[in-house]
Amino acid sequence: MRALNYTIAESADAAVSSFAEANGAARYIAGGTTLYDLMKLGIEQPAHLIDISRIGGLDSIETGGDLLRFGSRALMADVARTPVVRDEYPILAESLLKAASQQLRNMATVGGNLLQRTRCLYFRNGAGSASAVGVYPCNKREPGSGCAAIGGLDRAQAVLGTSDSCTAVAPGDWPVALTAMDAKLEFLGPDGKRSIPIVELYRLPGDTPHLEFNLTPGELLTSITIPKTAAGLTSTYHKVRDRESYAFALASAAVAIEMDGETVTSSRIALGGVATRPWRSEAAERVLNGQPFSAELALRAGQAAFADARSGQHNAFKLELGARVVADALAIAAGRRA
C-alpha cells in the first residue's frame, strides 16, 4: 500500500499553497468520481490529495446580470436543475443530464468534469499496467511507448484532431456545450488569478498526448462564466451512444442558433465523441450563417464539420453519424424558436 497525505483546504489560497509544498506530487479533489477511479487503476498516483470540498464560494451558482457563473465545485445535478439553466439554456442542462449516471451527477462537480483525462480502453489498460486484459502501449501513460489504438480496436476513437501518437476521444459532454457557448474559465495559481476561453484549455495530442491541458502546475479552477445570449433558448445538446445512460458519446453536437424569420443569423456548433478535445466547428457555422434554414442545409453543415476527419479501421461510421447528429441537433434547436 502506498503512503498518501491528505489535506483539507479551508481557502483557495491555502489549496494552492499546499500544492506548491507537495512539489507537484499533489492532486486537487472535490467529488473524486474520476480521480479515485484512475487511482485504483494505478494511472494517477499522487502522494498528496488536497480536498477543496470545504472552500466557501466554490459551489456558487449565479444567474443574475449579464453572465452565468458557476463555482467549480458546484455539482452537475444542481446546475442542471437550476431554473434559469433548465428553462433558458437547454444546451447546458442537457449536456449535464446526459452525462454519466444520476448517482455520479449528484457527486461530480462541473469543474472536475472539465478536467477529466482524455482516455480510451488502451489508456485504462496501457503501458506499465498489468491487468486481466493485458498490457498495451499507450503514449498518454508512458510517452514514447506507442499507441495500441492505432491499428487496433478503434471503434470509439476520434476522427478529428488525432495524431500519429494518440486518437483518444475527449470524454466530456459539459465541455462541449461550454465550448459552443464561449465559456471562460477562471483560475487561481502560484502566479495569481487568470481567465482564459475554454478553447484554450485543451491541447491537441500532437507528439505529447500525455500533456492534455494548458495549465501551470498547481492552478485551481475556481469558476466558469458564460455570456448570456438569446441563442440559449434555441439550443440543444444532442448525444448518440451505445446505450441510453452511463455511456460516452459515439457522436454528439452542442448547437445554439439565432434566427431572423427563417434565416440563420448566427450559429454555434461544437462536437463531442469524435475528437481529441471539445471541437468547435467553424466550418459548419459558415455553411449555416446567413442562409434560410432547411433540413438539407443542416445536413450540409454537418458534413462540413467532418470534411477534414480522418478515420481508422472501425470508426469510419462516425463521419456519417456525426454529420447527421449535427443536422438533427440543428433541427431541434430551430424548432425551439418562439
Residue with the three cell numbers 479501421: 313
Q: What is the pLDDT of residue 246?
A: 86
* pLDDT tens-digit map of 31-54: 999 999 999 888 999 999 999 999
Q: What is the pLDDT of residue 245?
A: 84
More confident residue, 13 or 338: 13
Residue with the three cell numbers 491528505: 6
Q: Is residue 71 part of a domain?
A: no
Average pLDDT estimate for 209-215: 97
**Bridge partners of residue 235, in order along the sequence:** 256
Average pLDDT estimate for 135-156: 93
Task: Record the cell numbers describing residue 3, joined without a space.
Answer: 503512503
Q: Is residue 247 part of a domain?
A: yes
Domain end among 35, 54, 73: 54
Residue with the three cell numbers 433541427: 331
Give the contacts of 173 (CB within 8 A, at least 6 positions apart). Answer: 95, 96, 98, 99, 237, 239, 249, 252, 272
Q: Is residue 221 part of a domain?
A: no
Total domains present in the chain: 2
Domain end among 21, 38, 54: 54
Average pLDDT estimate for 207-224: 97
Q: Is residue 319 part of a domain?
A: yes
Q: Which DSSP string do the residues of 22-68 spell out, in sequence order?
A: TTT-EEEESS-TTHHHHHHTTS---SEEEE-TT-TTTT-EE--TTEE
Residue with the three cell numbers 456545450: 177
pLDDT band at 133 (very low <50, low <70, confident <90, very high): very low
Q: What is the pLDDT of residue 128?
A: 52
84: part of which helix (H) or strand (E)? Answer: helix 83-88
CATH number at residue 322: 3.30.390.50
Q: Which residue type is seen at 202?
A: Y
Q: Coil, strand, or helix at residue 148?
A: coil
Q: Coil, strand, or helix at residue 223?
A: strand
Q: By the 8 A CB rule, do 69 and 221 touch?
A: no
Dihedral sign, CA of 141, 44, 119, 199? negative
Q: Where are the beta strands (DSSP E) in the chain?
A: 5-8, 26-29, 48-51, 61-62, 67-71, 184-189, 192-197, 220-227, 235-240, 251-260, 263-272, 279-280
Dihedral sign, CA of 181, 287, 238, 113? negative
Lowest mean pLDDT across 76-80, 143-147, 157-161, 282-286: 143-147
Average pLDDT estimate for 176-190: 98
334: left (phi over 0), alpha (psi -120 to 50) or beta: alpha
Domain end among 54, 72, 95: 54
Task: Record the cell numbers describing residue 118, joined without a space.
Answer: 482524455
Q: Is residue 109 part of a domain?
A: no
CATH number at residue 48: 3.30.43.10
Lowest mean pLDDT across 6-15, 118-127, 279-288: 118-127
* pLDDT tens-digit map of 250-267: 999 999 999 999 999 999
Q: Is residue 34 part of a domain?
A: yes
Q: What is the pLDDT of residue 130?
A: 46
Residue with the three cell numbers 467553424: 282
Q: Look at residue 170 and tell me whether its pLDDT is greater than 50.
A: yes
Buried b (16+ CB within 10 A) or exposed e, 80-100: bebebbbebbbbbbbbbbbbb
Q: By the 8 A CB rule, do 252 and 273 touch?
A: yes
Residue with the three cell numbers 446580470: 65
Q: Is residue 273 part of a domain?
A: yes
Q: Is residue 49 part of a domain?
A: yes
Residue range of the domain that includes 32: 5-54
